[in-house]
Amino acid sequence: MITTPIAMPLTAMDRCDRCGAQAKVRVVLAAGELLFCGHHTRKHSEKLAELSADMRWESRP
């Protein structure tokens, strides 16, 4: 049986992997996960969709 670990909710301490702003979105890929602010999620959303990434908004911008 394959189980997917449950990610902890993002906190104010979680930072965007691109710019260091507060992370709002957890992006889950086959190779791992990334944290993005709303700006970088929107900027990279087209490519993330091509990669079939699971984008989990923790809070809406």
- pLDDT, tens digit, for every residue of 2-41? 445 557 899 999 999 999 999 999 999 988 999 999 999 9
Q: What is the mean pLDDT of residues 32-51?
A: 94
Contact residues for 22 (Cβ-Cβ < 8 A; gap 6+) = 12, 14, 15, 16, 37
5 burial level (CB within 10 Å; 0-12, 13-18, 19+): exposed
Q: What is the pTM of this model?
A: 0.80
pLDDT of residue 40: 97
